[in-house]
Amino acid sequence: MSKIKPSKGAPYARILGVGGYRPTRVVPNEVILEKIDSSDEWIRSRSGIETRHWAGPEETVAAMSVEASGKALADAGIDASRIGAVVVSTVSHFSQTPAIATEIADKLGTDKAAAFDISAGCAGFGYGLTLAKGMIVEGSAEYVLVIGVERLSDLTDLEDRATAFLFGDGAGAVVVGPSQEPAIGPTVWGSEGDKAETIKQTVSWDRFRSGDVSDLPVDSEGKVKFPAITQEGQAVFRWAVFEMAKVAQQALDAAGISPDDLDVFIPHQANVRIIDSMVKTLKLPEHVTVARDIRTTGNTSAASIPLAMERLLATGDAKSGDTALVIGFGAGLVYAATVVTLP
């Protein structure tokens, strides 16, 4: 017989507040065209992207996270001192250790909140949300801050016409806390490591240890290119369109929700054609509001879902209490989908 007392958590968890930060610099397609052979029309029609935001030197991963989190805390009406854990999902914090989450927890004024980073690519927000729900129901935190933040402009090869136009920077954050009724459904998540090669970093950091990088690709000025994200666009596109619609349907089924019950659909903002195809496959009715934040935000990976959520609520296209299906998918390959009640 175990001598350990059971931990006591809340019956359920919910998102209580959301906040976003978009860097001040807006970058139109014309800027992207300075380095690649393409056209505004091609980028808009193939990806849906018209503009994206790129962070300046002051808009660091930590600074953007603190801004977004401050707004999420204000939206939730929760003081930072009550946050028990800070979970930061990012692939663009460039120090291996320590995690950026501890600096963010400190800058926000939390009371020594547990803090850690996760690397789950564009599914990172869903992974963080799932962990937060677990902590709250299990009792190890009353309130959890989940942050998705990226400076993907640092990891973009502007001379690669397959990716140069895709990525943007920004941070989105939510406060997750206790609830008396279910407000975050079961997560359907997973990984397909056999497809790891389809989205990856061009060169591992490890290569720079030897000092001999003479065989690495160079830019137009002859300088060795900084590692960047590269992908097999068509393979990822097909996977997203065929496999992720199934995962989204599984998340609806797991939550006991039919497409008719849904108010809002917030898929990862990777390509507007992927979004449109999922809407069709899922047979979402006309009344469902669909996030197409990609047009002015680009693909911000872990930040894309909370940023899109924040914008829909800010513009009044979605409202507090709406039932929303969220699904993230990307590098790994990994995915996570769930149904949530909007804050």
Two tokens at 283? Answer: 């047979």
Do 227 and 242 contact (CB within 8 A), yes or no?
A: no
Helix, strand or coil, per DSSP, at residue 153? helix
Report the nearest approach of ligand COA to the CB of residue 145 (Å): 23
Q: What is the DSSP secondary structure assignment for residue 193, as one 8-state letter?
A: G
Which residues of the chain form contacts with ligand COA (CB under 6 A)? 36, 38, 42, 46-47, 122, 161-162, 165, 199, 231, 233-234, 236-237, 240, 270-271, 274, 299, 330
Report the nearest approach of ligand COA to the CB of residue 198 (Å): 9
Report the nearest approach of ligand COA to the CB of residue 192 (Å): 13
Cα separation, 250 vs 23, whole angstroms = 35
Report the nearest approach of ligand COA to the CB of residue 219 (Å): 17
Peptide bond into 333 cis (omega under 30): yes
Residue nearer to ligand COA on the CB measure, 38 or 323: 38
Do 330 and 295 contact (CB within 8 A), yes or no?
A: no
| Helix%, strand%, coil% for the chain, nearest 5 | 35, 25, 35
Helix, strand or coil, per DSSP, at residue 28? strand
Residue nearer to ligand COA on the CB measure, 26 or 36: 36
Residue nearer to ligand COA on the CB measure, 93 or 268: 268
* 268 belongs to the catalytic site: yes
From 29, 93, 122, 271, active-site residue: 122
Residue nearer to ligand COA on the CB measure, 36 or 224: 36
Report the nearest approach of ligand COA to the CB of residue 199 (Å): 5
From 29, 268, 271, 287, active-site residue: 268
Residue nearer to ligand COA on the CB measure, 147 or 176: 147
Taking CB atoms, the residue at the shortest distance from ligand COA is 233
Report the nearest approach of ligand COA to the CB of residue 273 (Å): 7
- Which residue stretches of the chain are H helix? 29-32, 40-47, 61-76, 100-108, 124-138, 233-255, 272-281, 294-297, 304-315
* 122 belongs to the catalytic site: yes
Report the nearest approach of ligand COA to the CB of residue 225 (Å): 18
Cα separation, 140 vs 125, whole angstroms = 20
* 93 belongs to the catalytic site: no
Provide DSSP, 237-304. HHHHHHHHHHHHHHHHHHHT--GGG--EEEE--S-HHHHHHHHHHTT--TTSEE--THHHH-B-GGGH
Residue nearer to ligand COA on the CB measure, 74 or 162: 162
Residue nearer to ligand COA on the CB measure, 230 or 249: 230
Helices 272-281 and 233-255 sit at what angle, rounded to 10 degrees? 40
- Rounded to the nearest angstrom, the gap between the alpha carbon of residue 81 and the centroid of all alpha carbons in its chain is 25
Q: What is the DSSP secondary structure assignment for residue 225, as one 8-state letter?
A: P
Q: What residues are labeled active site?
A: 122, 268, 299
